[in-house]
Structure 1
Amino acid sequence: MQILNKEQVINNVQKQFLKTTLPDINIGDRVSVGVKIIEGNKERVQYYQGNIIAKKNGGINTTITVRTVLQGIGVERVFLIHSPKIDSIEILRSSKVRRAKLYYLRGLKGKASRLKQRFN
């Protein structure tokens, strides 16, 4: 009989809920995130497109921050990628970046905020 400490027990429970079908997500990627929305007794998927400006790794608590500009106003959302509310994540385009966090995009407007495309 093996005795497990608290950390091992938590890790074993979290492994069951990790998604294995996620694409390889990088900073600077333009993604489309499908979020399940429940309205009354109906459920639908709403897509949110934008650039990933930050990623925080933490096992089941891994998050990405997606930024888009709607009608001249910057909108950012933080998504818990292993959440059951996330239906799909699709990479539309990859970009060349030299930073781990792209917070400098918040201060740029128009064409200045474009990122160079990376071809694989």
Structure 2
Amino acid sequence: MGDAAEPVTQDSSSVSLKTVRPIKFKRPDKTTRHIMQILDTEAVEAVKENREILDIKSCYTVQLKVEVPENKCQVSIMKGIIIARRNAGLNTTFRLRRLVAGVGVESVFPLYSPNIKEFKVMDKKEVRKAKLYYLRDRMNALRK
């Protein structure tokens, strides 16, 4: 009978039965964070390949066609102004402010959500701020 130290080789395609030692990392928290960043960028690129994602900024007036999660057949159209955007890779969100029956309503949407069916930019304006929370007090900015 053979010793346990001898490698077992039957074919060139077969795998030897030696044990593989795990790789030791000096900082496993940094390594996992780096791996998660790579996976996040790959997921964003996969979504961008499947459908067109527009580069949106604050103060863009947009029209969204959003699929209602409760009823997959129903698509609602929302028109409003983007007052904020939060960049977080695949979890990037934007805040849409619109008027419903004379009352300002804000909604937060994930940019890469499969529920957003169509995204159309109606108007672009130049602003100096990234977050337009001051439009909450000024309702006339939305009445166009």
Q: Give the TM-score taking structure 1 as reference length.
A: 0.78
Deviation at 1:101, TM superposition (A): 0.8
Larger C-alpha radius of gyration, 1 or 2?
Answer: 2
Which digits, 9 at most, give the CA deviation of each residue in 1:49-78, with x for residues without a partner? 100000111111111000011221001000
Deviation at 1:13, TM superposition (A): 3.0
Structure-1 residue corresponding to 2:66: 35
The reply on whether 1:71 has 2:101 as its aligned counterpart is: yes
Which digits, 9 at most, give the CA deviation of each residue in 1:69-114, with x for residues without a partner? 122100100001112222222111101212111111111133xx26
Instruction: Please show how residues 1-120 of structure 1 align to structure 2 within 5 Å.
Output: 5-18=31-44, 19-20=47-48, 21-39=52-70, 42-110=72-140, 113=141
The answer for unaligned runs of 5 or more in structure 1 is: 115-120
For these two proteins, the number of residue pairs brought into alignment is 111
CA contact (8 A) 1:29 1:95 kept: yes
Q: Give distance in 2, aligned partners of 1:43 and 1:16.
A: 30
Helix, strand or coil: the match of 2:40?
helix
AA in 2 matched with 1:89: F
Deviation at 1:27, TM superposition (A): 0.6
Helix, strand or coil: the match of 1:7?
helix
The answer for unaligned runs of 5 or more in structure 2 is: 1-22
Q: Give the TM-score taking structure 2 as reference length.
A: 0.66
Q: Give distance in 2, aligned partners of 1:14 and 1:109.
A: 37
Shift of the 106–38 alpha-carbon distance from structure 1 to 2, 3 Å rule, reads closer
Helix, strand or coil: the match of 1:14?
helix
Larger RCO (alpha carbons 8 Å, 6+ apart): 1
Deviation at 1:39, TM superposition (A): 4.5
Q: Give distance in 1, aligned partners of 2:58 and 2:139.
A: 19
Tell me the percent identity.
Answer: 32
CA contact (8 A) 2:80 2:96 kept: yes
